[in-house]
Chains A and B, each alone.
Chain A
Amino acid sequence: MYEEAYKRWKATLEDAIWLEATTRAPLAIGLGNSSPLENGLALHHTYGVPYLPGSALKGLLRRAAARYGLSEPEKEVLLGEGPDPKQKKPGNAAYLVYWDGWLHPDSKSPFQKDVITVHHPDYYGTRGKAWPTDFDDPNPVAFLSVRPGVKFHIPITCPAENAQDWPHKAAELLAWALEHLGLGGKTNAGYGYFAVKLPERPKGDREQALELLESYRARIEKIKPRNERQELDFFLRELADKPPTVRKPVLEAIKKHLQDWKIWNPGNPQHARIQELLDI
């Protein structure tokens, strides 16, 4: 049943950027929730399986953003901004959606029995008025945590079109935070750390352009007056259907090479064509 719900959910969010996070350590999230045991755990209301609340992921990202020193506009996009009554600013919602991380149906029996033992209940109970001694009765508290090796899938979406760089950026930051800062309670005791698999990020135009330039650099250097005509033919043919931003650096390099040789001549039809492509 949960598997069906998981598939339905996954199909609905197929355009999201998906993080796969596997617990490396026990996970104790939602310890304060009400539970028949003394400490709670974040369990899905309808299905009863553990999950990673979207609000916890977003909160973790906020902490990572503070560490990374992101700029205010970046934070506004990733996390939104509360209203500021003093400056009468209305604030804005985040541009991204951090969905709950759902348990992967392959991760069977995700729970483990865990225990936390208070050794000095009087010391804590009286806020330090009673001394902690070796004669205190330890008070073991049993609770459930998520065992290591359990896989969760976390989608991040951006409703705006042509802005898929943002969820990728958020995913990278979140991956770092899940690996290094930890999620949920007791992170100082080693709980809540994950191993994260990031989706491959599609290469931006800039990266493609640099790669293209790198692959042709040697060939451009070898353009001599003697082979100039056929070489320029080759380049004009190759670059004709590349996007303008991708071919621009190559064209610039050719132009510069020709200028260095002092044979750049806008009257030459091939040179004119290069200039024309550069001006688009």
Chain B
Amino acid sequence: MQVKMIFWQALTPVHPGTGQDSSSVIDLPVAREAATKFPVIPASSLKGVLRDGREDEGANRIFGSLEKAAELTLTDARVLFLPVRSYAGTFAFLTCPLVLERLGRDQKALGLPGLQAPIPTPQQTEALLPQESEIVHNGQVILEDIDLTAKPGAVNDLAKELGQRVFGPEAAYFQKRFALVSNDVFSYFCETALEIIARVRLNSDSKTVERGGLWYEEAIPAETVFSSFAIGTDGFEELDRSFIQLGGQASVGRGLLRRLGGGV
């Protein structure tokens, strides 16, 4: 049995829809974890796209058939870093202790080395940053409608380790935007700072909106980084793709993900 950690990054907004009415203003919400309300890409979406409709013997072996279960197991792709618009530095890569502790726990359970760097606990009003940061404005990190006190130098080792593991040679671009915030602040942005896209359907002749032709879609914004595991005896080469497209609204360009470094 082999285990691999896989990181994906959204290059365009991703819409892993629920297909269900949210009974809120948003007509088409994205899938979320039931307990945390963090957005998530269900493993079934990933697996379906990787299989790509193939029904041959090889695909049946790796992805399963009615007779036999799959040899390759994929887990849900969870949000690792959420991009949130920042007053300075365009956007910040946010994460919180809960996300990192869960990741470490899963890594340990699957026999992978966990994070070496300590994970400090930020206060509600703090953003813990590495020494070199681009998202600080007058001692504050201003994200959407929340202002946090910047604590530069509080997560140097963590930023370095995460950058190297997830982004490899592109680590610097990540580190200068990285911020560790409290679980509550992260949850708040997961629920309120996703991209909301208004869509209309126009009447071709009059160029005005048709009755009932206005709806709101939610999407996980471009730049979001997801982590997932692949577990199994075979078929890991199926994951060796530089990019995939998944989720809803594909024909208008949603759901382009690139595979990041990966490895252990």
* Interface residues in chain A, defined as those with a beta carbon under 8 Å from any beta carbon in chain B: 1-2, 4-5, 8-9, 12-13, 30, 32-33, 44-48, 53-55, 57-59, 62-63, 66, 80, 93-94, 96-100, 159, 187
Select B251's contact among A1, A12, A97, beta carbons within 8 Å: A97
* A1 and B199 contact, CB distance less than 8 A: no
Bound CA–CA A73/B29 (angstroms): 32
Bound CA–CA A5/B201 (angstroms): 30
* A97 and B253 contact, CB distance less than 8 A: yes
Given contacts A47-B90, A55-B199, A55-B252, contact A1 B173 (CB under 8 A): yes
Q: How far is the CB of B217 from chain A (nearest CB, A)?
A: 9
Bound CA–CA A55/B249 (angstroms): 9
Bound CA–CA A12/B245 (angstroms): 11
Tell me which residues across on chain A come within 8 A of B219, comparing CB atoms. Answer: 45
Given contacts A63-B204, A98-B253, contact A8 B258 (CB under 8 A): yes
* A80 and B251 contact, CB distance less than 8 A: yes
Bound CA–CA A272/B211 (angstroms): 68
Given contacts A46-B83, A46-B85, contact A93 B250 (CB under 8 A): yes
Residue of B nearest to A4 (CB): B173
* A98 and B252 contact, CB distance less than 8 A: yes
Q: How far is the CB of A197 from chain B (nearest CB, A)?
A: 20
Bound CA–CA A58/B91 (angstroms): 29
Residue of B nearest to A187 (CB): B207
Could you list some 13 contacts between A and B, CB below 8 A? A1-B89, A4-B173, A12-B242, A32-B200, A46-B221, A48-B85, A55-B252, A66-B204, A96-B251, A97-B253, A98-B252, A98-B253, A100-B12
* A58 and B251 contact, CB distance less than 8 A: yes
Tell me which residues across on chain A come within 8 A of B173, comparing CB atoms. Answer: 1, 4
Bound CA–CA A45/B90 (angstroms): 10
**Dominant SS among interface residues on chain B:** mixed
Bound CA–CA A63/B207 (angstroms): 9
Bound CA–CA A99/B256 (angstroms): 10
Bound CA–CA A62/B203 (angstroms): 10
* A12 and B222 contact, CB distance less than 8 A: no
Whether, in the assembled complex, B198 has its beta carbon less than 8 Å from a beta carbon of chain A, the answer is: yes
Interface size of B as a range: 20 to 34
- 1/0 per position for B136-158, CB-CB distance to A under 8 A? 00000000000000000000000
* B253 and A45 contact, CB distance less than 8 A: no
Q: How far is the CB of A167 from chain B (nearest CB, A)?
A: 12
Whether, in the assembled complex, B11 has its beta carbon less than 8 Å from a beta carbon of chain A, the answer is: yes
Given contacts A4-B173, A8-B11, A44-B222, contact A98 B256 (CB under 8 A): no
Whether, in the assembled complex, B69 has its beta carbon less than 8 Å from a beta carbon of chain A, the answer is: no
Given contacts A48-B85, A187-B207, contact A54 B223 (CB under 8 A): no
* A46 and B253 contact, CB distance less than 8 A: no
Q: How far is the CB of B30 from chain A (nearest CB, A)?
A: 13
Bound CA–CA A99/B252 (angstroms): 6
Given contacts A33-B198, A45-B221, A55-B252, contact A99 B204 (CB under 8 A): no
Residue of B nearest to A33 (CB): B198
Given contacts A12-B243, A48-B90, A97-B245, contact A62 B204 (CB under 8 A): yes
Tell me which residues across on chain A come within 8 A of B204, comparing CB atoms. Answer: 62-63, 66
Whether, in the assembled complex, B13 has its beta carbon less than 8 Å from a beta carbon of chain A, the answer is: yes
Q: How far is the CB of B221 from chain A (nearest CB, A)?
A: 5
Bound CA–CA A48/B221 (angstroms): 12
Q: How far is the CB of B56 from chain A (nearest CB, A)?
A: 16
Q: How far is the CB of B190 from chain A (nearest CB, A)?
A: 15
Q: How far is the CB of B201 from chain A (nearest CB, A)?
A: 8
Q: How far is the CB of A208 from chain B (nearest CB, A)?
A: 31
Residues 206-264 of B contacting A (Cβ, < 8 Å): 207, 219, 221-223, 242-243, 245, 249-254, 256, 258
Tell me which residues across on chain B come within 8 A of A33, comparing CB atoms. Answer: 198
Bound CA–CA A55/B91 (angstroms): 25
Bound CA–CA A30/B254 (angstroms): 18
Tell me which residues across on chain B come within 8 A of A62, comparing CB atoms. Answer: 204
Tell me which residues across on chain A come within 8 A of B223, comparing CB atoms. Answer: 5, 46
Q: How far is the CB of A36 from chain B (nearest CB, A)?
A: 12
- Beyond A46-B221, A53-B252, A55-B199: 12 further Cβ-contacts under 8 Å? A1-B89, A9-B11, A12-B242, A13-B256, A33-B198, A46-B90, A54-B251, A57-B252, A62-B204, A97-B250, A97-B252, A98-B253
Tell me which residues across on chain A come within 8 A of B207, comparing CB atoms. Answer: 187
Residue of A nearest to B170 (CB): A4
* B222 and A46 contact, CB distance less than 8 A: yes
- 1/0 per position for B33-57, CB-CB distance to A under 8 A? 0000000000000000000000000
